Amino acid sequence: MQDHRTKEGRRNSTIFQKSFQKIAVEVIKEFLNQDIRMIGLGSGPMAAEVVREISKLPFKEHLQCITTSTQVKLQAEQANLKTVDEGFLNELEIFFDGADQIDGNRNMIKGGRGDLLKEKILHSAATNIIIMAESTKYVESFNRSVPIEVHPFARRTVQKKLEVLGGHPKLRTVGEDYVYVTENGNLILDTGFVSMPDVRKKEVELKNIAGVVEVGLFTRHANVYYKANEDGSFEKILG
């Protein structure tokens, strides 16, 4: 289920707020300058902090932003930042994003908020990727479900094939009564696996199922990872 809708997710955002703010200041200072023109913005509380810091830059009018969700796009517009569409993806210089989990090999699970398709596209297009996440999301091996975006027409067949591959898919819902639909008009099967010894192989295997639009396994490593700590500090980890 979507982490940001749970009480635990909201509590974590509060606990790590000071770290989020410090990281946002750090990444903007280190990675944005007047030579940068095209940036990508992921979703979540970290993205909101980054948008807030970008809005303070004296050269912000020269920046153009590609966003992964309507929510972040609205936040960027409210900060008077210029947003552009996918026609500028080939010019994407840097992508600021978060993660739901990061394993010991720097692979990631993303899609808890339902934006995995656009996030995967921006990850693929960006020259540089900066990941920012709470310390609790750094694990030795994955222990949460993998979001898999599926075309509605293929839901039943994909679900069956996931089960054959050892997965335990569950259709994402909003509350108990409504099926969650992504901004792309697709469904999400949150799929648990007992083990995943080869994450890259599993990503390819799942993506090859007809009807699967995108998989929430991200095996392209970021250039830099930032780990937010509960005490307000943070750590910088090179990819």
| 103 shares its domain with 173 | no
Same structural domain for residues 116 and 192?
A: no
> Which SS3 state, helix, strand or coil, does residue 182 take?
coil
CATH number, domain with residue 85: 3.40.50.1360
Cα 74 from chain centroid (whole Å): 17
Residues 45 and 131 in one domain: yes
161 with 134, same domain?
no
- Catalytic annotation on 205? no
Is there a single domain that holds both residue 135 and residue 161? no
Q: Are residues 78 and 112 in the same domain?
A: yes
Domain range for residue 29? 3-139+219-238
Q: Do 9 and 83 belong to one domain?
A: yes
pLDDT digits (tens, 9 = 90+) for 67-98: 999 999 999 999 999 999 999 999 999 999 99
DSSP-assigned states of every residue in 37-66: -EEEE--SHHHHHHHHHHTT-TTGGG-EEE
Q: Is there a single domain that holds both residue 67 and residue 160? A: no
Predicted confidence band of residue 15 (pLDDT cuts 50, 70, 90): confident
pLDDT at 9: 52
pLDDT single digits (tens) 87-135: 999 999 999 999 999 999 999 999 999 999 999 999 999 999 999 999 9
Statement to judge: residues 116 and 33 lie in one domain: yes
Instruction: Give yes or no: residues 10 and 70 share one domain.
Output: yes
Domain tally for the chain? Answer: 2
CATH code, 181: 3.30.70.260
Q: Lay out the sheet containing 187-193: strands in order across.
A: 167-171, 187-193, 146-150, 212-215
- % of the chain exceeding 90 in pLDDT: 88
- Pick the catalytic residue: 53, 119, 203, 214? 119
pLDDT of residue 12: 59
Residues 39 and 73 in one domain: yes
Which pLDDT score is estimated for 47? 86
The one-letter code for the residue type at 89 is L
* Sign of torsion over alpha carbons 88, 132, 219, 118: negative
Q: Are residues 117 and 86 part of one domain?
A: yes
Backbone angles phi, psi at 231, to 5 degrees: -85, 5
Distance of alpha carbon 177 from alpha carbon 213, whole angstroms: 24
